[in-house]
Structure 1
Amino acid sequence: MNIGFIGLGVMGRPMASHLIAAGHTVFLHRVKAASQHLVEEGGKALDSAKAVAEAADVIILMLPDTPDVQAVLFDANGVADGLSKGKLVIDMSSISPVETQNFAIRIADLGCDYVDAPVSGGDVGAKNAALTIMCGGSEQAFERARPLFELMGKNITLVGDVGAGQTTKVANQIIVGLTIAAVSEALVFAKSAGADPAKVREALMGGFASSRILEVHGERMVKRTFDPGFRIQLHRKDMSLAVDGAKALNLSLPNTAATQQLMNAAIARGDGDKDHSALIQTLEALAGQKS
């Protein structure tokens, strides 16, 4: 299959690599030094999103935020300028559910299908082709995309119509963000009480408090390995989507709002480009602990 892939960051690079390794022809845009290896693996670098859309039957986006997706899709020489009837656009970014629906309408007007398919699992999941993929779109479009999803992920679910994938991802990020904050508070408490956080984590892994976040991010907190991963500033973006969505729905999400504020504080401290497990450093600072 001819596939376009735009968005070669920490997550996008291994995802595109899996597609190339499976024998697909993958057209790439915005190849930089960190992603040059994809060309060496067989990917084909092109100089615009339009050129990628012209060359590919399926175009995958993996971009940081809603404005980035809008620009790549609809700016001059964007994806929309290169689409022809019958192509499929898959947005695997984590962006606004409302804007996703608007984007899909504009792509449908060009005679093309659209699936929103944000992911969870971080850089580890991307590298291991073990991502959870949450999808919104028609059954027909989803089935067309499924063979590609299976090269990048393990838990693949069509949740509903376009936008449902993004709604699910926001829900995912609420759970992840609040759990990171909970693990951080637990380890800060343990340290202040004189216990070894590493031993506390080890003990908790055998009990009801055990979780994937305690396992992976708790270890990062203990070992102080905060290279992203998933940056705090990107997770703050997702928490803001949740808070804004709650306002639009007249919902109260007090713990989500509090965690968003912690992420604001982490970014103010200069930790925005660190892995979201580094949220513990903000709580340590509030507790008067040295990082």
Structure 2
Amino acid sequence: MTQTERPRIGFIGIGLMGEAMVRNLLDRGYAVTVWNLEPERLNTVVPHGAVAADSPAAVAKASDIVMLCVLNMDAVERCIFAEDGVAAAGKGPRVVVDFSTADPEGTRKAAARLRDMTGCGWVDAPVSGGPQLARNGTMTVMAGGDAADFETVRPVVDQMAGNLTLMGPVGAGQTTKILNQAIVGTGYVLMAEALILAEAAGIDAAQLPACLAGGHADSSLLQRLYPQMQQRAFDPPNSYARQLLKDLKAVSAFSQGLGLDLGVIEKGVSQFKDYVALGHEMTDSAGVVKLYEHKASQRDAAKG
């Protein structure tokens, strides 16, 4: 496929994941126009061929498909509906693909509003896997949207994902991401507790993933996250603790809205609240193991 046959891509939000996704798209030969609220972040992708724009509207005017990966629903709405947002571009992209983790109802409302204003479609496509998988095009993407809109963007998103699934209409991707974050967020806490327990018991904690491989306890969390915790390898961060706390709070609110009382999820929220409160907002989420070390040192100090 030649460059002229490829859709022009716009990308809004050049954080850890956005940078990785843009670099992947550039490697595959796509023309990518970018914008970020903090313009200095553009320096991570412009030297590799991305073209900087001065607003989301400018990104939209230059693009057939606009992708977003921003902090939350408020940030999504700012990028789409502000005076300089995507909707202000008039005849802009055919479809918006939102890789952000946002809320299902807010996503449905935003998608309907944008379609009414501009005729632009919307696919919510939150992701999982972290920057390395985003960089090499093997992340997991859980999508929601109209079938025709999904087919429009699928050829591009397929190249960014090892696993891409349409879970239903607009909002279904965000609902699926809530379930994903319930598993991931509580899994981080569980891995931290398993590590602390293994170290306290005096076994060779580094051997645990290999020992348990193939059994019911095996998982990508055990094979990828646990070793990172065990090695205390938190710099540079693969994800931010404040973001996972935000996601866990969203899981809690969603479950409570359905009339459910889910104790494991609530414990995960509590532990990440405590970790972030120690000043670790921008540290790696895997660093939650430090919370247990902090509490242990407090207990030792109290004993005198």
Q: Please list every run of 5 or more consecutive structure 1 residues that lacks an aligned counterpart in the other structure.
A: none
What is the match of residue 63 of structure 2? 56
Which of 14, 18, 21 is the aligned partner of 1:12? 18
Query: TM-score under structure 2 normalisation?
Result: 0.90
Counterpart secondary structure, 1:11 = helix
> 1:86, 1:111 within 8 Å by CA — same for their partners in 2?
no
- In 2: Cα distance, 1:98 partner to 1:91 partner: 14
Identity of aligned residues (%): 36
CA drift at 1:201: 3.8
- In 2: Cα distance, 1:152 partner to 1:84 partner: 26
CA drift at 1:196: 3.1
What is the match of residue 75 of structure 1? 82
Matches within 5 A, 1:122-271: 122-205=130-213, 207-227=215-235, 228-271=237-280
- In 2: Cα distance, 1:178 partner to 1:40 partner: 38
What is the match of residue 112 of structure 2? 105
- In 2: Cα distance, 1:17 partner to 1:202 partner: 33
Coordinate RMSD, CA, aligned: 1.8
Of 193-202 and 104-113, deviating more is 193-202
Matches within 5 A, 1:17-96: 17-30=23-36, 32-84=39-91, 87-96=94-103
- In 2: Cα distance, 1:133 partner to 1:246 partner: 22
CA drift at 1:210: 1.5
The 3 A distance-change label for structure 1 pair 59 and 171 is same
What is the match of residue 278 of structure 1? 287
- In 2: Cα distance, 1:219 partner to 1:111 partner: 47
> 2:60, 2:93 within 8 Å by CA — same for their partners in 1?
no
> 1:85, 1:111 within 8 Å by CA — same for their partners in 2?
no
> 1:201, 1:214 within 8 Å by CA — same for their partners in 2?
yes
Query: TM-score under structure 1 normalisation?
Result: 0.94
